[in-house]
Amino acid sequence: MCGLLGLLTPNASAEDVVDAVGKASHCMRHRGPDEPGTWHDADLAYGFNRLSIIDIEHSHQPLRWGPPENPTRYALTFNGEIYNYLELRDTLAREHGAVFATEGDGEAVAAALHYWGDDAVRRLRGMFAIALWDTETRELFLARDPFGIKPMFYATGPGGTAFGSEKKSVLELLGPLGSTEDLDPRAIEHYTVLQYVPEPETLHASIRRLESGTFARLRPGGSIEPVRYFRPTFPIRPFTADSQERRYREIAEALEDSVAKHMRADVTVGSFLSGGIDSTAIAALAMRHNPNLITFTTGFERDGYSEVDVAAESAALIGAKHIVRVVGPEEFAASIPEIVWYLDDPVADPALVPLYFVAKEARKHVKVVLSGEGADELFGGYTIYREPLSLKPFEALPGGLRKLAGRLSERIPDGTRGKSLLNRGSMSLEERYYGNARSFNDAHLRSVLREFKPEWTHTDVTAPIYAMSAGWDPVARMQHLDLFTWLRGDILVKADKMTMANSLELRVPFLDPEVFAVAEQVPLEQKITKTTTKYALRRALDGIVPDHVLNRAKLGFPVPLRHWLRGPELFDWAHQQIADSGTDHLLHKPAITQMLNDHREGRADHSRRLWTVLIFMVWHGIFVERRIVPTIAEPTYPVHI
């Protein structure tokens, strides 16, 4: 685990270039405070910050490896963990005679790419952003894991091609790319609609992200042209009366094997624990490998916005030591500039704030945590996935009648029962579904954005993804869409950024190729029923997860944002952010102020829309105006926990 940074440039060995890479990599020292450093040859300069998890005393980065005839041919730096590295090392030694000098996973990555070529990335079970430099061919290989758990940004400027784990380091390295003129108006609109910036975009037009499930090869002076190696499919296999129990066992066994491999570490591993089935399943399975497991949860002192009691009951039943972190509104507001700085690009999901605080608490006790991200996308866990069932009657209507239903919905006042059903029933799946973030409609966008273009809204992002799933059942198409949008744009970004902000490694056992292999075959009726979600997963976890959680509805880490923006907790803070923000050229600030006042008076619930705009204003104040300067403390964590 580390934060990596690289610059491919003809003068990589120049002292000022190496110094610049080292200085820029210091921006992400929180990702790896155990071992910072730089390395270079004639064409490539690396900066790195290592968080030592496996083979702590060795496996330093950049790691040099090569075949016997040239044992230092490759220079590797990578962010992540390869959980099947022991099996890979055995196979590589047996089949190819590979020789290893360390006990870590880094050499397994380098050897796999040497002997297996591009196919190696398909054989890695883990989370990774890889940079491998071949000193013989003078070629750089970049890759990200299938689901996008670990990030990779890149940009080409006058000084060469920079790539790294965090955008702020790439910005600092290439300097002038961070100007106001470099802001991408299309990405800003996408963010406003989706509440995150979709891959491969960032809010800076010159900086892109290497997409999840892709790799690229690059020579000095060349350009990055990603190749997709992971194309998720849903080859449904019906459950039969004879196979049903066996299929449930397959799901449980795949998840248990994944958790076992995710427990591999030379440091202490803990687990996040909410009141839901996903994190509880991970913690219960982890207890089988570490009976001294510590679990962590967070909540707020407001009824309906905390799962602390449920999580504590679960921890007691599985026998884990449990630690709770309660977040108050004052520290919630005070933390926002720091949190946005860590994010690089804005993510308007308020749940990342309690996640930041529970990660900070967990880092006092452990160096690695497991978590339940990905279960909803793989097994059908979002309640919105039940929507195709409720809208099925509309599918039988002729096109003209469906459009009429849409026109009727426009005449019904907002908040009236049935308005949303008519509106959504009048649209196709491709038109109506673009993930869990649906706070801004076109009317809201026109009132808020100074440059609004309808062709830049969600279909601009989702149409190519939907094209890959033509002919699938609607729930499988929604899951597939979420893998490329909500999961990698929101869920995994906040998980990576908020834990790494605290030098804590987060591992997600659901997002494992072997777990996905069983999940993708689950038929519709085993995902969604009229009364529950994730039906097959719940059946598979019967006897593993305590009964009080097994069929409990998902809550996660909810935030009382609606209430706080109406009261003293956040209203004054929000009003001041709007007044101070230098975004008048991008946003209609009077309209936003009116939204805030309407929300306070109870005329509408604008909480998610306001939060989306406010987080953007804070981001703009930090990265563009330089008006907001968060205080970022030096990491002081010990190497071994």
β-strands 368-370, 269-272 pairing: parallel
Catalytic one among 1, 2, 323, 495?
A: 2
- Is residue 182 within 8 Å of 623, Cβ to Cβ? no
Determine whether 27 is an active site residue.
no
Q: Which long-range contacts (CB under 8 A, 24 or more apart) does 25-30 make?
A: 25/49, 25/164, 25/169, 27/166, 27/168, 27/169, 27/172, 28/3, 28/164, 28/165, 28/166, 28/168, 28/169, 29/3, 29/634, 29/635, 30/3, 30/342, 30/500, 30/501, 30/502, 30/503, 30/632, 30/635
Q: Does 222 show up as a binding residue in the annotation?
A: no
CA–CA separation, 371 vs 374, rounded Å? 9
Distances (CA, A) of 174 to 24, 29, 157, 312: 9, 18, 6, 48
- Tokens, residue 233: 């499919």
CA–CA separation, 203 vs 5, rounded Å? 20
Burial class (CB in 10 A: 0-12, 13-18, 19+), 446: middle
**Neighbour-count burial for 285-324, b at 16+ CB within 10 Å, e otherwise:** bbbeeeeebbbbbbbbeeeebbbbebbbebbeebebebbb
Burial class (CB in 10 A: 0-12, 13-18, 19+), 506: buried
CA–CA separation, 98 vs 73, rounded Å? 14
Distances (CA, A) of 230 to 304, 381, 483: 40, 22, 11
Burial class (CB in 10 A: 0-12, 13-18, 19+), 392: exposed
Q: Does 160 show up as a binding residue in the annotation?
A: no
In one-letter notation, the amino acid at residue 42 is A
The count of C-alpha atoms lying within 13 angstroms of the C-alpha of 160, restricted to the half-sphere facing its C-beta, is 21
CA–CA separation, 611 vs 574, rounded Å? 9
Q: Does 105 show up as a binding residue in the annotation?
A: yes
Binding residues for L-glutamine: 105
Binding residues: 105, 371-372
Catalytic residues: 2
